[in-house]
Amino acid sequence: MKLSLSNGIFSKLKVNSNFAVIKDLSFENIEFNMKTIKKENDTGVYREQKALFSSGLKCLTLHSAVFHVKDPIEVHQAVYYGKISLECARALCAPLMTIHSNVSKKTPKKVREQCLQNIFGEIKPFAKKLGIKLALENLSHNSSGFGKNVEEIEEILDIIDTDEELGITFDFCHALETKVVDELIDKYYRRICNVHMANKAHKPFIKETPELTKILSKLHNCGYEGPITLELDSKTSIEEIKKTKVLFEQLLRRL
Ligand SMILES: [Zn+2]
C-alpha cells in the first residue's frame, strides 16, 4: 500500500505553497482535491500541472469537484464538475478519480434514478476516453449526497454501473461514523481502489487503535495494494500530520 496525503487539508493555500508544505512534510504522493481550485478558468489546470511537475510529487488520485444535484435542471452543472475534474486528472497524470454519487439524499427515488443516468451517462464515457478509472466514495451522515451504505451504493451501481466498471473509494472515517465498516469491505473488497484514511470527523490517527489495526490487516488480507490517502480535517496541526505519517509508515511496513 502507498501512503498519500490529500492536499485538501491545505486548500486555503495557493497551489505552489500547497505542494511545498506537502514536500516539507516529506510525502511523495498526493490526492489532488478539486476544492483547492477556486473560481478559476478551466485553463487553470495547466498551472496545477506545472506546479505538480516542478514539485516532484506524484498525484496517485484526484478527488472530483463535488456537486449534489437536487433537481434535474442541475444535471449539467454536475456533468461540468465531473468533466473538468477529469481534465485535471489527465493533466496531473492521475489514473484514478474519486467521485460522489452527485445526487442529493433529499431527491426522491425516481428523480435520483433519472439524474444518475443522465450524469453518469456523460461522465463515464468521458472518463473512459481519457483512460481514467472512476471510484465511487461512501459518504457520511452529514454529507448532503446520497450513498452512505451498501443498500444506497447498490442502488446507485444498479443504475450507473451494470457493466461493473466502477471502482470504490472506501472512506474509513465515513464508514466508522455510519457504522458500516465490515459491511462495505465484505461487499466491495474486490473493487476498492482508493482508501480515504482518518478517524471520525476526519481527525488524525496519532496512535494505533483496535479499529485501525483491524482495517489495515483486513485490507492487506484482501490483497489491497492501492493508496492509503490521509484525508484530514483542515484544523489538523503540522505536528499531528507528522505524527500520523510516522505512525502509518510503521503500520504499513509491519503488514
Ligand atoms: Zn473521503
User: What would the pLDDT profile of 110-142 be if each residue is shown by its tens digit?
Assistant: 999 999 999 999 999 999 999 999 999 999 999
Return the CATH number of the domain spanning residue range 2-254. 3.20.20.150
Phi, psi of 10 (to 5 degrees): -110, 40
Å from CA of 137 to ligand 1 middle? 7
Å from CA of 140 to ligand 1 middle? 9
pTM for the structure as a whole: 0.97
Residues with CB under 5 A from ligand 1 (ion): 171, 196, 231
Question: Which residues face 22 on adjacent strands?
Answer: none
Residues 9-68 pLDDT 10s: 999 999 999 999 999 999 999 999 999 986 667 888 999 999 999 999 999 999 999 999
Å from CA of 231 to ligand 1 middle? 6
- List the domain boundaries for the chain: 2-254
Å from CA of 104 to ligand 1 middle? 17
Å from CA of 172 to ligand 1 middle? 8
Å from CA of 229 to ligand 1 middle? 9
Tell me if residue 33 falls in helix, strand or coil.
strand
